[in-house]
Structure 1
Amino acid sequence: MKVAIFTDTYVPQVNGVARTLKRWTGYLDKKRIPYRVYAPDVRSNEEYGDSIHRFNSVPFWLYPECRLALPNLMKIKRDLDVFQPDLIHIATPFNLGLAGLHFGKKMDIPLVGSYHTHFDQYLDYYKLSFLSPFVWKYMQWFHQPLKKTFVPSLHTKRELELHGFHKIELWQRGVDHHHFSPVQSDDRVRKHFKIDAPILLTYVGRLAPEKGLDTLMNVAKNLPHVMNKNIHWLIVGDGPLRNHLQSVAPQNMTFAGYQDGESLARIYASSTLFIFPSATETFGNVVLESLSSGTPVVAANAGGVTEIVNHGKTGLLCTPHDHNSFTQGIIELLSDQKRLASMRKQARQEALESSWEEIFEQLLRDYKDAIGEVKLASFA
């Protein structure tokens, strides 16, 4: 099997889609399955290797972490003619995704795609809701030729079915249990960020309107003083709201910027609670990473996150956009240390059930099914 992946976001860009695709190509390397990735160029000293083809790009105004590439169609065509992929996987519906769609149709290569982001919901946060019907019409047109559309959660599957999508398959997410682990808990986090408070509440993600950070800021300002004096907030990530958030943040809040590797793992494991107010998630990779680290989650009762957080067992699901609901949830957990300790154990235990190996094996089976029995016979 040979696979061509067309995506408008890929490492070293920092987002869930890019990281998932990087892990997937790592798995293909492990299985010695040849692949090509057609992705935007970014300013980086990272060596990409022969399998990664980069193209000049500009930021997508609605989501700068996803870039609009300026693909060289002749270059792509020459490479596809040489590589002769058995399958094209389109990860994003923008310029490179359109290129993948074009060549899949023109060269009669089976097409599959994945749906990662509720862009229509993002429009609500940018006062562009009137565009939502057009976004759905475009997405329906884009996905119609695909043999399969992969989604990360049952919630997303149901959402797409309501909008007339067909041939939808689950491609869930796993977590690196060794990297994101309770054993990563380390005093270096508090020392590095000069945190003296015994309670550490953490958020990890993009600093943008669609992440519900207005709710988080209201929670930070409305927790009871007797409790708040023992709390410090650590905000991990970057985005268009960072300057504004810093200007209105309380004194017990630190902005850590992007963190990855061991540093991010230590932050998760050293936190008391993970607070995630976003109501627009198709899955929520950061939520699963927190649970794997043994840190309970207080999250919005919306989207794919509801399939990760076991309410009352590994965290709490709160009313979206309601800072009072989040505030009461945090108070409830911080006031019951015995329950919090039980949640830490349960969070880790349930996260261990999310295995990348099993998830990727299923994706390979779905690939082979999309390619069809005729070509599949040649793999035997």
Structure 2
Amino acid sequence: MRIALFTDTYIPQVNGVARTMKRLVDHLEKRQVEYALYMPETIEKLDRFESNIHTFASLPFFLYPECRIALPNVFKLRQQLTSFQPDLLHIATPFNVGLSGLQHGKKYGIPMVGSYHTHFDHYLHYYKLQFMSAWLWKYVKWFHQPFERTFVPSVETMRHLQKHGFQRLALWTRGVDCERFHPKQRHRSYAINLLPKDKAVLLYVGRLAPEKDLATLVAIMSLLPRELNEKIQWMIVGDGPSLPEMKKQCPSNVTFTGYLKGEELAAAYASADLFVFPSATETFGNVVLEAFASGTPAIVADRGGVTEIVEHGKSGMICKAGDAHTFIQAIEHLLMNRSKRAEMGYEARQYALTQSWERIFDDLLEQYEQVIFHHKKRHLA
């Protein structure tokens, strides 16, 4: 089969969608599935030139500058797709690149699937744009309506969309590389080796932006009892529009590393005693699974896809979203109980080992085949 992928974000951009789409492309190559990828042009160039990767001029997206709004050349796109003759279009994002794929699929009767990655409706609250909610849902429902299936990363996301009238939903979860993210990576980093050895390391990894509920994270840091706070070193991995304000608000025992990748990121996860992640807007929570693979228990909010990764009291703790005090209680409990923390780290690693990317992507390819088969069957009837 020949698959055309449309995404408005891709590496080297740093976000869950970009990384997932890169892993999907790698798996298509591994399984020798023909594909064409359509994406915005980025300032940074890809590692190597690919004849089946097509880029369009782009501008930063005002709500999410790390992502780009493409300006597709529709005539060129039609020529490329006519030459490629895809059996299926997979449209990952609802912006300009995705819209171009949607228009082509509808015009030429090519079966299409979509994937839903981001709760943009939740983001509106953090950017004081709630007045746009009705319009946003109307647009997103219109965008996904022509798809044979819309893939979602968690049961929570599926239920959320069902409440808004979405149909033909299918589960496409996420996996983790348990060789890259591994407890053996602990302290394998010059920067992380500079952290105080006599303090517990509490880690956050993610975009530094309002929708990650960083206000709760700052509140946790500020409200921790002094005697406990003196025994803690915070490590914040990531970048984003909230970084300058966070640096002003956070106490002195916070280290900001910026974006990390590869061994540096793996070492950060493995060197932490606890992973603290208050975001209530996650459709899945890739970073939680990466922490688990590294043997690090997670303390998360009770909203979003993260609740399907963490088993409360076994591999981590689930706390009331937005409530700094419940997070502090969980931190205090686990830091005071070293054996319980070690047991949770073991359970977290065991769970991560069951989440193979290969199995997840092979299941997706099987669903592609089903959609193509049923589409041909309808048109032959």
- TM more than 0.5: yes
- Residues 86 and 182 from structure 1, CA distance in 2 versus in 1: closer, same or farther, beyond 3 angstroms? same
| Deviation at residue 14 of structure 1 after TM alignment | 0.4
In structure 2, the residue matched to 1:353 is 354
In structure 1, the residue matched to 2:273 is 272
Residue 310 of structure 1 aligns with an amino acid whose one-letter code is: E
Residue correspondence of structure 1 range 1-380 to structure 2 within 5 A: 1-46=1-46, 47-186=48-187, 188=189, 191-373=192-374
Where structure 2 has 5 or more consecutive residues not aligned to the other structure, the ranges are: none
Is the Cα–Cα contact under 8 Å of residues 193 and 254 in structure 1 kept in the other structure? no
Q: Matches of 2:120 and 2:19 in 1, distance apart?
A: 19
Is the Cα–Cα contact under 8 Å of residues 189 and 264 in structure 2 kept in the other structure? no
Residue 24 of structure 2 aligns with an amino acid whose one-letter code is: W
- Residues 260 and 190 from structure 1, CA distance in 2 versus in 1: closer, same or farther, beyond 3 angstroms? closer
Residue 297 of structure 2 aligns with an amino acid whose one-letter code is: P
Is the Cα–Cα contact under 8 Å of residues 296 and 314 in structure 1 kept in the other structure? yes
Is the Cα–Cα contact under 8 Å of residues 190 and 196 in structure 1 kept in the other structure? no
Residue 307 of structure 1 aligns with an amino acid whose one-letter code is: E
Structure 2 residue matching 1:67: 3-state secondary structure: strand
| TM-score in terms of structure 2 length | 0.96
| Deviation at residue 79 of structure 1 after TM alignment | 0.4
Q: Matches of 1:144 and 1:191 in 2, distance apart?
A: 47
| Deviation at residue 192 of structure 1 after TM alignment | 4.9
Q: Matches of 1:299 and 1:238 in 2, distance apart?
A: 20
Q: More deviation in 37-46 or 282-291? A: 37-46
Is the Cα–Cα contact under 8 Å of residues 111 and 375 in structure 2 kept in the other structure? no
Q: Matches of 1:374 and 1:237 in 2, distance apart?
A: 43
Residue 17 of structure 2 aligns with an amino acid whose one-letter code is: V
Structure 1 residue matching 2:260: 3-state secondary structure: coil
| Deviation at residue 60 of structure 1 after TM alignment | 1.2
Is the Cα–Cα contact under 8 Å of residues 295 and 345 in structure 2 kept in the other structure? yes
Q: Matches of 1:63 and 1:372 in 2, distance apart?
A: 37
Q: Matches of 2:375 and 2:302 in 1, distance apart?
A: 45
Is the Cα–Cα contact under 8 Å of residues 188 and 264 in structure 2 kept in the other structure? no
| Deviation at residue 189 of structure 1 after TM alignment | 5.3
Q: More deviation in 236-245 or 221-230? A: 221-230
Q: 1:340-377: per-residue Cα shift (whole Å, max 9, x none)?
A: 1111111100111111111111101111111124759x
Is the Cα–Cα contact under 8 Å of residues 189 and 270 in structure 1 kept in the other structure? no
Q: 1:46-89: per-residue Cα shift (whole Å, max 9, x none)?
A: 32411211111111111222211001111110100110000000
- Residues 369 and 295 from structure 1, CA distance in 2 versus in 1: closer, same or farther, beyond 3 angstroms? same
* Count of residues paired in the alignment: 376
Residue 279 of structure 1 aligns with an amino acid whose one-letter code is: A
Q: Matches of 1:65 and 1:22 in 2, distance apart?
A: 16
- Residues 245 and 347 from structure 1, CA distance in 2 versus in 1: closer, same or farther, beyond 3 angstroms? same
Structure 1 residue matching 2:122: 3-state secondary structure: helix
Identity %: 53
| Deviation at residue 26 of structure 1 after TM alignment | 0.1
Structure 1 segments of 4+ aligned residues over 3 angstroms from their partners: 187-197, 373-376
Where structure 1 has 5 or more consecutive residues not aligned to the other structure, the ranges are: none
Structure 1 residue matching 2:131: 3-state secondary structure: helix
- Residues 317 and 68 from structure 1, CA distance in 2 versus in 1: closer, same or farther, beyond 3 angstroms? same
Structure 1 residue matching 2:227: 3-state secondary structure: helix
- Residues 374 and 15 from structure 1, CA distance in 2 versus in 1: closer, same or farther, beyond 3 angstroms? closer
| Deviation at residue 198 of structure 1 after TM alignment | 2.3
Residue 255 of structure 1 aligns with an amino acid whose one-letter code is: F
Residue 44 of structure 1 aligns with an amino acid whose one-letter code is: E
